[in-house]
Structure 1
Amino acid sequence: MYYPNDIEEICYEQNHIEKVWDEMKQVIPTYFQQYIDTESGYSIPESEIEKLAVKFGSTCKPKSKPKDTKKILERLLKESIKDYEKDRQRYQDILDLESLAEYKIDVSAFKNTILRNQIPIINKTLKNIHAKELDKFRAAFNTTQPGDLFKVIYNIVQLANEWHNEWYKEKEFEEIDTCDGLEYYELDKEAYIAYGVIGGGIKSHFIYKLFPEMYPNRSREAVWALYYLSSKKKFGCKEDSQFLMINAREGTTQQNYFYPYALFSFYAVRIYRQLKELYAKHGVSLPIEYRFVLVDSFLSFVARTHQSEIDDLKKKAESYHYEY
């Protein structure tokens, strides 16, 4: 996709989505095996150990201990949930509808004290002064009117709660089989965006921290992961991969920071279903209440697998644009 264009209409067509998914479902098992072999990227696979041994002159094959795949997956799952829960309570306390009703009395304090200092994702972003690509985010945060920011956040949280209370059913949810059936399009509309501050990333992070069984985290890593899971293919798109944001004039490439949450969420549901099957083959059942925590962990791993290439693509983009 080329900046500043909208995503191509073909990307919303179910036939196109199925073609993209056909590619992803062929690729996911390979990454899943790597996820196991490297223990989410934090250990060296046996094949690499053997290469290192040869490099340093060893003529003997290194001895390896048999791995208990079930235990590895259970541990990785437990660690992912623990990491997710570290700061979750802060989001639950602040983004509670009753709490927001109280914050409405003083929206300036809500922006400059609560959001700035107590919401982890915003606090970390504002404090990361060494990352020049975040300068535009900081500037946008400082200039956005407190009332406008509060209204957008309230809209997001209210809609997330409304959908969760009115139609979410845990077993039926993962059986939704079309993007129209999921129907998350509303979250991509103007009422749920504060340009430069609350984009697809932060918005999804908020509701992911509230209801991880229903709302996936559309992080930067997650969008990059979809690019690799789709094997970098165009699938009929005229403007390269839908998961990239290409600025031809500036010569920059980023993950598609405008990628629609509705589309992302549908792919996330499909990915969860396939991961559920892969885990089951090793005797591991997944807790539904943490459905998208598992997906987030896996997508993060996929992106980190290609970190070197991503860094090369992003080098020119660092001084250009940033969106959360």
Structure 2
Amino acid sequence: MYYPNNIEEICYDQDHIEKVWDEMKQVIPTYFQQYIDTEGGNSIQESEIEKLAVKFGSTCKPKSKPKDTKKILERLLKESIKHYEKERLDYQDILHLESLEKEYKKDVNSFKNTVLRNNIPIIRKTLQNKQAKELDKFRAAFNTAQAGQLFEVVSNLVQLANKLRNEWYEENEFEEIETCYDLGYYELDGEAYTVYGVIGGGIKSHFIYKLFPEMYPNRSREAVWALYYLSSKKKFGCKEDSQFLMINAREGTTQQNYFYPYALFSFYAIRIYQQLKELYAKHGVSLPIEYRFVPVDSFLSFVARTHQSEIDDLKKKAESYHYEY
């Protein structure tokens, strides 16, 4: 398996994975409580309200209204599913095996320059985001990428995603997978499913997440940042700092590891789902299997946003470097 800038080999060791997970499972309940208290980041925690009251000279403790945790979680779940379904039809229509084979295969140049560029939301928005200087490399790579290769990789990805869904996936057994090896998503990290600089782990995972959220998690930038914080920023024996970061000491830049292997990410996502399922159940809320990784995506996004100021500070260094050179 070839994957440039891959993580250290120790990260694939199941004993190492279990050590990382032991840390995560201790931390997740704290963030989950914050997720509830702030209603997904949309309100201020009571502790913060008290700090503000003291700051402005109040000696009285602000009265807090009792919250209906079940209703909060039900609303957050409903909102996350609604957000997920937004623009999903675009992906389903374009990334349909029959559409790829009978329509887009006939004109790969149009597939690249019209369909991918204008009609696939994640690519369209990335290309149009001129404020984030770190995306300049993506725009350059997309413009120079061969149309035939882009079509072939997208077609390969959709075919494999459908094959695993139809021939391998078992709804009741999926959550019982105990090792990263048994999950077997390593093939998705291979060259046949990658156009380096254009279709990497983030975009390819978004594609298949929009098709089958019950078995493919979304390995977004926020999600990888979240794993860094859920693992308490620890190295766990890695020589090059956290496996979830990409640090360039010479350039003085730090970013989320956008080369992070999808197979490993997916295994951690399954574990996170299992714990979230238990936490939701304690408040009388059941997570829908058909949207298994949607609440996971929402939770990981929340975790990253709680550290947004720190992330922005790290990213500013990266943006400064790309701007100057």
TM-score range, shorter chain: over 0.9
Counterpart Cα distance in 2 of 1:320 and 1:93: 39
* Structure 1 match to 2:15: 15
Report Cα offsets for 1:271-308 as digits up to 9, x if no partner. Answer: 00000000000000000011100100000000001111
Other structure's SS at 2:247 match: strand
* Structure 1 match to 2:190: 189
Change (3 A) 1:319 1:154: farther
- In the alignment, residue 27 of structure 2 is paired with which amino acid? V
Taking the TM superposition and a 5 Å limit, the aligned residue runs for 1:51-66 are 51-66=51-66
How far apart are 1:82 and its partner, in Å? 0.2
1:83 equivalent in alignment to 2:83: yes
* Structure 2 match to 1:37: 37
* Structure 1 match to 2:300: 299
TM-score of the pair, normalised by structure 1: 0.96
Taking the TM superposition and a 5 Å limit, the aligned residue runs for 1:183-262 are 183-262=184-263
How far apart are 1:5 and its partner, in Å? 3.9
Structure 2 residue ranges without an equivalent (≥5): none
- In the alignment, residue 184 of structure 1 is paired with which amino acid? Y
| Worse-matched range after superposition: 293-302 or 52-61 | 52-61
- Give me the CA root mean square deviation: 1.0
Other structure's SS at 1:318 match: helix
Structure 1 stretches of 4+ moved >3 Å:
none
Change (3 A) 1:301 1:89: same
8 Å CA contact retained: 1:110, 1:150: yes
8 Å CA contact retained: 1:232, 1:241: yes
Counterpart Cα distance in 2 of 1:259 and 1:319: 23
8 Å CA contact retained: 2:6, 2:261: no
How far apart are 1:54 and its partner, in Å? 1.4
Counterpart Cα distance in 1 of 2:11 and 2:130: 36
TM-score of the pair, normalised by structure 2: 0.96
1:131 equivalent in alignment to 2:135: no
- In the alignment, residue 113 of structure 1 is paired with which amino acid? T
* Structure 1 match to 2:279: 278
Change (3 A) 1:5 1:88: closer
Other structure's SS at 1:7 match: coil
How far apart are 1:249 and its partner, in Å? 1.4
8 Å CA contact retained: 1:133, 1:319: no
- In the alignment, residue 156 of structure 2 is paired with which amino acid? N
Report Cα offsets for 1:170-189 as digits up to 9, x if no partner. Answer: 11101101000101000001
- In the alignment, residue 303 of structure 1 is paired with which amino acid? A
Counterpart Cα distance in 1 of 2:196 and 2:321: 16
Other structure's SS at 2:107 match: helix
* Number of aligned positions between the proteins: 318
1:168 equivalent in alignment to 2:166: no
Other structure's SS at 2:305 match: helix
Counterpart Cα distance in 1 of 2:11 and 2:110: 41
Report Cα offsets for 1:132-167 as digits up to 9, x if no partner. Answer: 221111111111010010001111111000000001
- In the alignment, residue 167 of structure 1 is paired with which amino acid? W
8 Å CA contact retained: 2:5, 2:259: no
Report Cα offsets for 1:89-134 as digits up to 9, x if no partner. Answer: 0000000000011200000011111111110000111111222221
How far apart are 1:50 and its partner, in Å? 1.2
Counterpart Cα distance in 2 of 1:254 and 1:227: 11
Other structure's SS at 1:253 match: strand
Counterpart Cα distance in 2 of 1:39 and 1:108: 45
Other structure's SS at 2:197 match: coil
How far apart are 1:52 and its partner, in Å? 0.9
Quote the sequence identity (%): 86
Counterpart Cα distance in 1 of 2:215 and 2:199: 20
| Worse-matched range after superposition: 117-126 or 58-67 | 58-67
How far apart are 1:319 and its partner, in Å? 5.3
- In the alignment, residue 214 of structure 1 is paired with which amino acid? M
